[in-house]
Amino acid sequence: MINYSKPDLSQHPPRSVRVRLGGYAHLARLLDKARAHLVGKAGEFHYNCPLDQRFFTFTGINHQKLLAAIKTGKSDVEMSAWMDKHAKRQPAEIAAWSVWLEQLGPGGAQGHEWIAGLIKGHKSKRDDIRSFADLLDLDDYLSYGGKA
């Protein structure tokens, strides 16, 4: 059974970018990575990576401030309430940003070539990977024993 209070990301991936918490895409994944980071079980995952930084920029929350709140042992529900208090974003803004984040892709040809290289590296023939969320879901699946 997965203990999401103290996740071991060497044994399982964090939740998908698409899992919403408090309306936010990526927040559940971010919390999994932060909690794993705090207990030294982050594996190959990095807290405050570029995708995390997009979240922090949107919410206006400092990554160290969020980490300090997580250290207190708050549950997902409590962290969602904490976000409501500290982020000062309206539900419509959160919804629009979350849709945008789920669809965010690499942009130009170089980025698409990079994603294609990662897919080939996994020996996958998938041709439907367009966004970073798609890529992270595929990579998480394959990295923990899924078949391309």
Our measurement of the distance from residue 36's CA atom to the centroid of its chain's CA atoms, rounded to an integer in Å, reads: 13
Indicate whether 62 belongs to any domain.
Answer: yes
Q: Do 9 and 41 contact (CB within 8 A), yes or no?
A: yes
30, 55 contact by CB (below 8 A): yes
Q: Does residue 138 lie in a domain region?
A: yes
d(CA 116, CA 137): 15
Q: If we measure between CA atoms, which residue out of 3, 2, 54 comes closest to residue 26?
A: 54
Are 3 and 74 contained in the same domain? yes
**In terms of domains, do 58 and 34 share one?**
yes
Please give the pLDDT value at position 117.
86
Looking at residue 36, its pLDDT comes to: 96
Mean pLDDT over 25-51 rounds to 96
| Alpha-carbon distance values, 58 to 29, 121, 140 (Å) | 16, 32, 25
Range of the domain at 71: 1-89
Residue 99 lies in a domain: no
Looking at the structure, tell me whether residues 133 and 61 fall in a common domain.
Answer: no
7 with 55, same domain? yes
Q: Are 68 and 120 within one domain?
A: no
Question: What local confidence, expressed as pLDDT, does residue 5 receive?
Answer: 82
Q: What pTM value is reported for the model?
A: 0.91
